[in-house]
Copies of this chain bind each other. A is one copy, B any other.
């Protein structure tokens, strides 16, 4: 059986369009025409349409009735909102996960963080951001509440589509970030109470946001 459990075309279309948005092929403001995408992907318009609506629900595209869809812009306030929301749900997710994080997880996270530290020398924002996501994934993936976890994932997705790397804009933030990661790990290791961990995780993200805002103001 070459049973590849083929995904539905809606899903394929969803994944394809999403990938193109995230990787930057479709830049913000890009007009997504249903018929065009359909012909391009080799599907009919119906699955494409459904894919677009899903992307709309996630906020990656804006859809206007009888007009069409466009890739969501990097409106700075949009970035702000997303980061703020993520700071809240990620903080909660991390706090809920903390009691379920084992030594192996800690070790893995620490290894990733060391890799990030190395990365500080010949700085590569994209790679750094990727490692950053890996690091945080270890911390929140054990969250026992699937709804919250889903919100965290959506937040990260949205961020990825908004800009490929925040650290490209505020490289100075990277150094502090690594230190805060280590502090966060220590808190979890020592079994700090949930509230402390939540605050730390939330502040960690808020700090990145603030750094960005301070930077943006100077432009």
Which A residues fall within an 8 A CB radius of B?
Answer: 8, 46, 49-50, 53-54, 57, 59, 65, 81-82, 84-85, 88-89, 92, 145-148, 151
Tell me the nearest residue of chain B to A96, going by C-beta: B84
CA–CA, A151 to B84, complex, Å? Answer: 13
Interface of A, secondary structure class, is helix
CA–CA, A59 to B145, complex, Å? Answer: 14
Q: Please tell me how many copies of the chain the complex holds.
A: 2
Inter-chain contact A65/B148, CB cutoff 8 Å: no
Tell me the nearest residue of chain B to A84, going by C-beta: B145
| CB-defined contacts of A85 to chain B, threshold 8 Å | 145, 147-148, 151
| CB-defined contacts of A92 to chain B, threshold 8 Å | 88
| CB-defined contacts of A147 to chain B, threshold 8 Å | 59, 81-82, 84-85
CB of A106 to closest CB in B, whole Å = 24
Closest 7 A-B residue pairs measured CB to CB?
A85-B147, A88-B92, A57-B57, A81-B147, A81-B145, A85-B148, A84-B145
CB of A14 to closest CB in B, whole Å = 11
Tell me the nearest residue of chain B to A11, going by C-beta: B65
CA–CA, A148 to B53, complex, Å? Answer: 20
Inter-chain contact A146/B81, CB cutoff 8 Å: yes
CA–CA, A152 to B30, complex, Å? Answer: 30
Q: Please indicate which of the listed interface residues A54, A65, A82, A85 has the most CB atoms of chain B within 10 Å of its own CB.
A: A85
